[in-house]
Chains A and B, each alone.
Chain A
Amino acid sequence: MKKHFLIISFSISMLLSILIVSCQPNVSIETAQYAVNGQKLYITHCQNCHGAKGEGLGTLYPPLTDSTYLRQNRHQLASIVKFGMQGAIEVAGKTFDNAMPGIKELSNIEIAYILTYVTTTFGKDTKTYTQEEVQESLKGHQ
Chain B
Amino acid sequence: MKSYLKFNFIALAISVFLISCSSNGNEKKLPYIGESTVNEKTVDGQTVTDTIPYAIPSFSFLNQDSVMITDKTFENKIFIANFFFTNCPSICPTMQRNLLQVYEKYKDDDRVAFLSHSIDFKYDSPAVLKSYAEKLGVTDDRWQFVMGSKKDIYGMADSYFVYTKEDETAPGGYDHQGYFMLIDKNKHIRGAYDGTLIDQIDLLLADMEVLLKEQ
A residues neighboring B (CB under 8 Å): 47-49, 51, 57-61, 98, 101
Contact = CB atoms under 8 A, between A and B. Distances in A.
B97 A51 contact: yes
Interface stretch (B32-40, B85-93, B141-149): B85-93
A49 B93 contact: yes
Contact of A60 (B89, B90, B93): B93
A101 B90 CA distance: 12
Given A57-B96, A57-B97, A48 B135 contact: no
Interface in B83-119: 89-94, 96-97, 100
Contact of B93 (A48, A59, A101): A48
A59 B93 CA distance: 12
Contacts of B91: 48
Nearest to B91: A48
**Residue in A48, A51, A59, A61 whose Cβ sees the most chain B Cβ within 10 Å:** A48
Interface in B48-104: 89-94, 96-97, 100
Most buried by A among B91, B132, B135, B136: B135
Interface of B: 89-94, 96-97, 100, 132, 134-137
B77 to A, nearest CB: 24
Contact of B132 (A48, A51, A60, A101): A60
Contacts of A48: 89-94
Given A48-B94, A51-B97, A57 B136 contact: yes
Contact of A58 (B89, B92, B94, B137): B137
Most chain A CB within a 10 A radius of its CB, from B93, B132, B134, B136: B93
A46 B124 CA distance: 23
A49 B135 CA distance: 13
Contacts of A58: 100, 135-137
Contacts of B92: 48
A41 B91 CA distance: 16
Contact of A61 (B90, B93, B100, B134): B93
